[in-house]
Amino acid sequence: MYLGIDIGTSVIKAALFDENGQQQAEASERMSLLDAPLGWSELDGEATWETAVRVIGDLLAAAAIDPTSIRGIGITGVMVGVWALDEHDRLLRPPILWNDARAQDLVARLQRQKPELISSVFSHSGSVMQLGCTLPVIAWLAENEPDVLAKARHILTAKDFIRYRLTGAVATDESEAAMAPGSAVTRDFHPDQAALLGIEDHVHLLSPVARGETLAGAVTEKAAAATGLAAGTPVAIGTGDTSACVLGAGAHRPGQAVSVLGTTCLNGVIFDRAVYEPRDLGLLFIVPGNRWMKSMVNVAGTTVLDWCLETLCPDLAAGEAPYEALGALAAQSPPGANGVCFIPYLSAAGVIAPRIEPRARAGFHGLAPHHRRADMVRAVYEGLAYAIRDCFEAIGGVETSIRLVGGGARSPFWSQLIADVTGAPVEVPEGTQFGAKGAALCAAVAIGDFATLDEACEATFRLKAHYDPSDIVKPAYDAGFARFQAGSEAALGVLRAVAG
């Protein structure tokens, strides 16, 4: 068995996989963010460790296995942010997460002083810098909580903190270092990035960087007593949640496309080199095994369906199988939703790909008196599918098929619609915990059960469902995509006009 642990923003998950990479058991527990000022996002760090301990214990109990049968452990989790530890290994403050925006004013001020800031960050990392990235958060701490940095001995991220508690080893992986921001080419931190943010004096707090598919250490006696794991079990470095999910989906060949249709909607293509086009747009994720994934993210994913249920279809939301009922209602409207178009920028952050506009908001276009609820609901499904197509076209299109994972992949209706809208076959892998599986594969390679991640991905991939695009509905969806582009540009044009 291999154990994968996934530290999410609000849920901690763990799953066991057999020697063929097939999921055998899983466990999870929700957590709550701390109450904090608007724009802040913090967790209780000790509670996070305690939750992880319980989830591991629940998994071992549910699987009813001897812990010594676990050959290796891999850990993934939400990326970047700051988990600051003192010399006694105590957290100095509540951990700051990836979606924290407290550094906004600081970054805006630095950009006025250094207009080259954002482009310089992109030229090294290949990613648009997010406010919750590790380096801008350190810069905020330096200005606002300097005592934290003065007492700090290590700055970790979510998965690195949990791995540290399991093994006592301080380390991070290439995906975290590049997104800090660092360098996508060297797959490491980069001194120029720290200098741009004025935090050169604090880079010694960052962890040593190692490959995700190598060993960090082994479960300590103390951690074994807490979790029920066997002391001495090897623990891999692991990788960030996006990269782990990609590996868990079996995507590792250059040219493969992946959509993670979860709370956000991430769309990316695997490359065997760092890719910087289009400039100053999107995110470039480091994937273990000398791979990169150029990605475009629509901030609102399955949250669009949640909103649709609660706002347009509260009767379905209160019934059994609400999402199945929602898909059945959408299917009552024809492809193209009778001309209704929905722009799915349903996020307080607006849109970040394939254009950047924090003020952008969602909306329906083309509504007329003859339209009914089914048309609006279908337009919601189609709108996110059009956004997926929009993101992939910005990267250069899909050459083969799209591996679809996340909550949205459980909907046959939506999966087929995405295939029809993008014109690419959609493949849904077997399993549910793809992040945990990707982390487990890192462990399997680290202990030598697979020679490479290429081999591990190929050997453990199982196809659950396949959806081919239909030529019959292509004209309707091409017309719908044109309406989507026009509606999106019109909405953004109004914002530019008002700003002007």
Measured distance CA(275)–CA(273) in Å, rounded: 6
Report if pTM > 0.75.
yes
**What are the angstrom distances between the C-alpha of 208 and each of 216, 266, 309?**
11, 28, 46
Which of 47-51, 317-321, 356-360 shows the highest mean pLDDT? 47-51
> What average pLDDT score do residues 270-289 get?
95
In three-state secondary structure terms, 433 is coil
Give the rounded percent of residues in the chain with a pLDDT score beyond 90. Answer: 89
Parallel, antiparallel, or unpaired for β 209-210 and 154-156?
unpaired
What is the structure's pLDDT at 231?
Answer: 98
Strand partners, 405: 260
88: in domain = yes
Token duo for residue 92: 């100095």
Strand partners, 261: 265
Residue 189, φ and ψ in degrees, nearest 5: -65, 160
> Would you place residue 499 in the very low, low, confident or very high pLDDT band (cuts 50, 70, 90)?
low
394: in domain = no
| Side chain identity, residue 267 | N
What is the structure's pLDDT at 356?
Answer: 81
CATH code, domain carrying 159 = 3.30.420.40
- Is residue 500 pLDDT above 90, yes or no? no
In three-state secondary structure terms, 490 is helix
410: in domain = no
> Would you place residue 299 in the very low, low, confident or very high pLDDT band (cuts 50, 70, 90)?
confident
> What average pLDDT score do residues 346-356 get?
83
> What average pLDDT score do residues 21-42 get?
94
- Is residue 348 pLDDT above 80, yes or no? no
437: in domain = no
Q: Which domain holds residue 174?
A: 2-243
What is the structure's pLDDT at 355?
Answer: 83
> What pLDDT digit, counting tens, does each position of 357-408 carry?
888 889 999 999 999 999 999 999 999 999 999 999 999 999 999 999 998 9
162: in domain = yes
> Would you place residue 468 in the very low, low, confident or very high pLDDT band (cuts 50, 70, 90)?
very high
Buried b (16+ CB within 10 A) or exposed e, 160-174: bbbbbbbbebbbbbb
- Is residue 486 pLDDT above 70, yes or no? yes
**Total number of domains constituting the chain:** 1
> What average pLDDT score do residues 438-446 get?
98
Nearest Cα to Cα of residue 229 among 386, 58, 372:
58
> What pLDDT digit, counting tens, does each position of 3-20 carry?
999 999 889 999 999 999
User: Rounded mean pLDDT of the chain?
Assistant: 95
* 301 contacts 262 by C-beta, under 8 angstroms: yes
Strand spans (E) along 219-326:
234-236, 257-261, 265-271, 283-287, 291-298
Buried b (16+ CB within 10 A) or exposed e, 32-52: eeeeeeeebbbbbbeebbebb
59: in domain = yes
390: in domain = no
Q: Degrees (nearest 5) of the Cα angle 84, 86, 89?
A: 95
Buried b (16+ CB within 10 A) or exposed e, 349-379: bbbbbbbebeebebbbbbbeeebeebbbbbb
430: in domain = no
Residue carrying structure tokens 């007492």: 151
